[in-house]
A and B are shown apart, each in its own frame.
Chain A
Amino acid sequence: AQSVTQLGSHVSVSEGALVLLRCNYSSSVPPYLFWYVQYPNQGLQLLLKYTSAATLVKGINGFEAEFKKSETSFHLTKPSAHMSDAAEYFCAVRESKTSYDKVIFGPGTSLSVIP
């Protein structure tokens, strides 16, 4: 069965500093991987997705993630943190069933940005 782990339930960075949120997955087949962001009292919004077209994926709000098969990782980065980036971030992997797609979510990482 596929699974997702996110190292660090809480990450704090200074405004303008590099953001690095870690995600590792397990999958028996080439995965589809996703990063979602959740702001307080809102649903999840797709940041970016890996679909095997390119290992470096660019998303919205200046975020990007790199798929590394050898490390089974899909870490999320942003060169310079902004106050508005403070939110909960979820890494997810798609598990394909015969009749529907099941998306497995990691436990989430809460990002704080310090002025």
Chain B
Amino acid sequence: ETGVTQTPRHLVMGMTNKKSLKCEQHLGHNAMYWYKQSAKKPLELMFVYNFKEQTENNSVPSRFSPECPNSSHLFLHLHTLQPEDSALYLCASSQVSGGTGELFFGEGSRLTVL
């Protein structure tokens, strides 16, 4: 595996379900990100982890709970979501300091909340 991989690619869940999105990066980067992409809206940065420490929480509702057990893995735990949370959730990684800081993205997890 190379790059950034996200699973599952597609997820349908009810508002009372609990599910998780998984992201793994194979690039040796030290920062990982969750972005939300909704139709006709700009990309929204949700969370940033740098060296496993959360360095940004962009006013995300508590029904989204991130977890970063190590610098290669990032999870987004989902609980009691709303239909408006339906979106493409993108994971990205980058090398902080010493580089140009560009993000490398996974292919996304398409979430539908019924």
Residues of A within 8 A of B (CB): 32, 34, 36, 41-46, 49, 51, 90, 94, 96-97, 99-103, 105-108
Contact = CB atoms under 8 A, between A and B. Distances in A.
A100 B48 contact: yes
Interface of B: 4, 6, 31, 42-43, 45, 48, 50, 55-56, 88, 90, 92, 94, 96, 100-108, 110
21 contacts: A32-B101, A32-B102, A41-B88, A41-B108, A42-B108, A43-B6, A43-B90, A43-B105, A43-B107, A44-B90, A44-B103, A94-B102, A99-B50, A100-B31, A100-B50, A100-B96, A101-B94, A102-B56, A103-B103, A106-B42, A107-B42
A102 B102 contact: no
A32 B103 contact: no
Contacts of B108: 41-43
A59 B94 CA distance: 19
A99 B30 CA distance: 11
B42, B94, B102, B105, most chain A CB atoms within 10 A:
B102
Contacts of A105: 42-43
A49 B45 CA distance: 20
